Amino acid sequence: MSNRVYIFDTTLRDGEQSPGVSLNAGEKLEIARQLARLGVDIIEAGFPITSQGDFNAVSTIAREVRGVTVAGLARTNPADIDRAWEAVKHAEQPRIHTFIATSDIHLQHKLRMSREQVIETAVAGVKRARGYTSDVEFSAEDASRSDLEFLCRVVENAIEAGATTINIPDTVGYTTPDEFADFIRGIMNGTKGIEKVVLSVHCHDDLGLAVANSLAAVLAGARQIEGAINGIGERAGNASIEEVVMSLYTRRDRYGLETGVNTEEIYRTSKLVSKLTGMSIQPNKAVVGKNAFAHEAGIHQDGVLKERTTYEIMNPAMVGISHSNLVLGKHSGRHAFRSRLVELGFSLSDEELNKAFIRFKEMADRKKEISDHDIEAIVENEIRKVPATYELAYLHISSGTTIVPTATVGLTQGEELVEEAACGNGPVDAICKAADKITGYHCRLASWEISAITAGKDALGEVTLRIAENNTDKLYMGRGISTDILEASARAYVNAVNKMIYEKKNGKPVE
């Protein structure tokens, strides 16, 4: 049996199904390109039949991202499969991923089908997909709660129909590692032709066991693991790709398995997904959380200073977290700034570098020392191609415990500066109302979150918010960074409004 484990990334499909997450085509393409740099084997780019926007995103990724298999999800009905093929057909390595549920609870309450009907539908779907491409993945939804004997029959028929990858999902995160390993062995022993295909697993994290179940499955013989960056996805999420990969690497003495992932791209990929989805990474998140390589206890600090491996089982550099001795501040020049960007993995054009360097200098006037996290935040914020109908020129706030909060906001529209003032029930509310006076749109603030990107009294704050026009449900996400949280809020609000205006004028999301 091969010692190679294939990594199937579903950040752009299952990950986007996280409540409150909606990625436009441009954001999906940016993540897909980074996933290709990361070295995943398969990118599940979306579910093409669900919407025209999802179809366009999958199609764009298929055309523009090379060196990786691009998959489109489809139910086993003809329309889904045809649409999936139309979306992925221009990929360098196209895959159709088709599925149908196999558990009795799904058959009875959702599908209202007999077991024989499920087998017939699965076979027809796989055959139709195989008519388009030789790379067909079949998934038995809710497999872990399915009758094993029946599941083996379904899988056997799917293989005979032409499936080349068989996926066994723990769709609701119900199983446990020892149980799932036995289940995988049961499938391998009870299914004719299983040795001809790649056996895959797709585990959810409802009981916090998605990564553990995935690792148990590969010990039992599975050779593809499906998951998402940062573990995002439906409900409690999916198996975390970075945790799976680093577990296999760190404990290769136990598993004897390898992936094709470039681990040094893990941190950057995690940050990008967090930024574009608006889902913050918890500080104690394994591998990529800001505390993952932090040491507070004196005993731990002493041990790490003497020998890193006393308390670190992974080298942070392995996942792309650098520790540079180069200190950047207001006296630093463009050359030092560019060098640091290269060390952090960024490749900027001259125009992008100029914009980032200006923001760096502005921040350096406020902060004594600029950290890697500061630089990452600057670049990630400046490099986004958001059509700027309005840009924040200035912001004045009057607020306190005994006065009504008031904001005076200046926005530029082209060469014109427009100014308005407004009162609110707080400074952020006042900022939003003043901006609405300028733009002519009346928006409600659906959510507002702030996180400190760096430490200290002069910490860089990042605001992530979502807005919607009054009486509508369509949400637009905005992000803003500054050492001043009110300025960050204003930048985030204007960023979201610009996205809304662009979509209204062009009839499509911002690319």
pLDDT digits 0-9 by tens, 202-236: 999 999 999 999 999 999 999 999 999 999 999 99
pLDDT mean over 309-332: 75
The mean per-residue pLDDT over the stretch 345-361 comes to 83
Confidence of residue 325 (pLDDT cuts 50, 70, 90): very low
Q: Are 49 and 265 in contact (CB under 8 A)?
A: no
Residues above pLDDT 70, as percent of the chain: 93
**Does 400 have pLDDT greater than 70?**
yes
Nearest alpha-carbon partner for 242 in 260, 224, 230, 258: 230
DSSP 206: T
Using the 8-state DSSP alphabet, how is residue 422 labeled? E
Q: In the chain, what are the domains?
A: 6-277 (3.20.20.70), 322-380 (no CATH), 391-506 (3.30.160.270)
Backbone angles phi, psi at 112, to 5 degrees: 55, 50
State the first-to-last Cα distance of the chain, in angstroms, to the nearest integer. Answer: 44
Query: pTM for the complete prediction?
Result: 0.77
Measure the CA–CA gap between 74 and 95, rounded to whole angstroms: 11
How far apart, in whole angstroms, are the C-alpha atoms of residue 124 and residue 122?
A: 6
pLDDT at residue 323, as a whole number? 57
In Å, what is the CA distance from 198 to each residue of 50, 138, 308? 27, 11, 38
Per-residue pLDDT tens for 429-456? Answer: 999 999 999 999 999 998 998 887 766 7
Q: Which of 101-105, 230-234, 398-402 has the lowest mean pLDDT?
A: 398-402
Phi/psi for 331 (5° steps) reads -95, 0
Strands lying side by side in the sheet with 416-423: 391-398, 406-413, 416-423
What's the full length of the chain, in residues? Answer: 511
Is residue 509 very low, low, confident or very high in pLDDT (cuts 50, 70, 90)?
low
**pLDDT higher at 91 or 308:** 91
Please state, in angstroms and rounded to a whole number, the distance separating the CA atoms of residues 31 and 21: 14
CA 304 to chain CA centroid, nearest Å: 32
Backbone φ, ψ for residue 35 (5° rounding): -65, -35
The per-residue DSSP string of 325-341 comes to: ---B-TT--HHHHHHHH
448 - beta bridge partners? 465
Q: What is the pLDDT of residues 468-490, one digit of tens each?
A: 988 788 888 888 888 899 999 99
Query: What is the per-residue pLDDT across 121-153, written as a single tens digit (0 to 9) for each?
Result: 999 999 999 999 999 999 999 999 999 999 999
